[in-house]
Amino acid sequence: MSDTAEKVKKIVVEHLGVEEAKVTPEASFIDDLGADSLDTVELVMAFEEAFSVEIPDDAAEKITTVKDAIDYIEKQKGE
Amino acid sequence: MFQNGFSPRRVVVTGMGIACPLGLGVEHVWKRMLAGESGIGSIQSFDTTTLPAKIAGQIPTGVKADGRLDINEWIPVKDQKKMDRFIQFALVAAAEAVEDSGWVPPDEEARCRTGVMIGSGIGGLETIHEAAQLAVSGKAKRISPFFIPSALINLASGQVSIKYGFKGPNHSVVTACATGVHALGDAARLISLGDAEVMVAGGAEAAVCELGVAGFCAARALSTAFNDTPAAASRPWDEGRDGFVMGEGAGVLVLEELEHAKARGAKIYAEVIGYGMSGDAYHITAPAEGHEGAFRAMKAALASANITPADIQYVNAHGTSTPLGDDLELEAVERLFGDDARNVAMSSTKSAIGHLLGAAGAVEGIFSILAIRDKVAPPTLNLEKPSRESAIDRVALQAQPRNINIALSNSFGFGGTNASIVFRAAP
């Protein structure tokens, strides 16, 4: 697992208070990890802070799973 | 509960919960209070170096089993950031009160007939402080999506309703230091008028933070002469008093329509028989001459209870330990009681826990009810030398066994808002 993936996983565990094992790449924040819409807003802000990236609202709306977050951040960091 | 001959449904208290500087749990706190213990200490939670007041009543930290607060035992970590501490305190006190009442609505209709009215004087001040610091450092975009719901006063009622599924009237009171009494009185009236069968009502406050202490210091309202002897700082009616001591916590009561409570075999602590309100229309922080607003609130409460002062054996005073307020309240109570003043006991439990602002009226309502239950008046600590003599026994230093059947509790707030409530032994 990449550094980014590890870090994303850790942030999700902390912010949503879920077990690490549940945070699979396919896991949906809302459907599988018990987040509501405000939780996802806060999660995206935590990603921005941790990775020093800007995630605009229209991009944030498309980040619904753990993998979506990892892919988006890695793409931003790669550029 | 009503004047003008209107005959309402009767309201009783069937559950109580408390979180205050003497700890958690009604029986634990009451035992400590009757023993004359103080919950006032040095503020450790933030740096008070630049502030003239360095003491407060804060909820002791530790495990629940010891009557102390470890919020992780009560609220999941991921949810704590969604609510300011005043809401957390409300949830802690509500948990005890609801469990104590044994009320679990059996169906949707019963849930819709159970409401919540928990107020606060100030609300999420610490949360607002933290968010403001982000804003002034150019990081307004980093403000949490939970900032607003964490700081809003009515979210105490909101969070309690969400936790228990209480779908009746969801309301909140904001009347500074009169909040607690207004919440109990207004909730009782909602039941009387038929809007609900059960109301979870009270007040919560968590303003012992840098902004809160600094603000009350600036208003010259706090005690500053006892920073080295915190337990001696809150001394209502004593000649050495020099301001109030801030306290934090929550008091929550389960109020219930009498027949509803009887039908389910609920334990009944007391009946809410009277409630009165008034406004000073005088000054933003100082009480009016002779505390005439307080006099009118008490008089209205007695009228709604259809009783006379001679029927009252105990008064839980607002008694904050300020030089001006204490003697003015005493004057108003003396005027109300007249020749009956010598038969009544009046104490200020703020001497032990400080002034819980919006939570004060709710926790003091609980103390008044316990005074009726146990036939004992809790003490006014540190009342060593009264600044003025009175026929009214102010229960100096030690609790007193008294044959208490009816108790009156007062709360007055900035803005010139006054409220009094009357409890009677269980019918």
Structure tokens at B44: 């450790």
3-class SS letters over B135-148: HHCCCHHHCCCCHH
Neighbours of B220 (CB within 10 A): 12
What's the pLDDT at B3?
61
Chain B's closest residue to A34, CA to CA, is B78
Residues of A in Cβ contact (< 8 Å) with B76: 17
B26 has pLDDT over 60: yes
Q: What's the pLDDT at A2?
A: 86
Strand duo B11-20 + B249-257: pairing: antiparallel
pLDDT tens digits, one per residue of B61-86: 999 999 999 999 999 999 999 999 99
Does the structure show a pLDDT above 90 at B6? Answer: no
pLDDT at B254: 98
Per residue in B262-299, pLDDT (tens digit) is: 999 999 999 999 999 999 999 999 999 999 999 999 99
Q: What are phi and psi of B277, to 5 degrees?
A: -135, 155
**Structure confidence at residue B2 (pLDDT):** 66
CB pairs under 8 A between A and B: 18
With CA atoms as reference, report the closest residue to B423 among B297, B302, B259. B302
Q: What is the set of active-site residues of A?
A: 36
pTM across the whole model? 0.96
Searching chain A, which residue's CA lies closest to the CA of residue B148? Answer: A38
Residues in chain B closer than 8 A to A38 (CB atoms): 82, 145-146, 149
- C-alpha B364/C-alpha B373 separation (Å) is 14
Tokens for B424? 């009677």
- CB atoms B78 and A16 under 8 Å: yes
Taking CB atoms and an 8 Å limit, are A17 and B78 in contact across chains?
yes
Q: What is the pLDDT of residue A77?
A: 84
For tokens 């610091």, the residue is: B133
DSSP category for residue B122: S
ipTM entry: 0.88
Q: Note whether B78 contacts A15, CB cutoff 8 Å.
A: yes
- Look at residue B264 in the predicted model and tell me its pLDDT: 98
CA angle B219, B224, B228 (to 5 degrees): 160
Active site residue B182: no
B355 is catalytic: yes
pLDDT of B106 over the 60 cut: yes
Q: What is the mean pLDDT of chain B?
A: 97
Buried b (16+ CB within 10 A) or exposed e, B58-96: bbbeeeeeebbbebeebbeebebebbbbbbbbbbbbbbb
Residues B281, B283, B287, B291: is their CA dihedral positive or negative?
negative
Q: Which residues of B touch A15 (CB under 8 A)?
A: 78
Question: pLDDT of chain A along its 79 residues, tens only?
Answer: 789 999 999 999 999 999 999 999 999 999 999 999 999 999 999 999 999 999 999 999 999 999 999 999 999 987 5
- pLDDT given for residue B7 in this prediction: 63
Q: What is the pLDDT of residue B336?
A: 98
Residues in A whose CB is inside 8 Å of some CB of B read 15-17, 38, 41-42, 45, 49
The yes-or-no verdict on residue B416 having pLDDT over 70 is yes
Chain A hits for B77, CB-CB cut-off 8 Å, are 17
Residue A78's pLDDT is what? 79
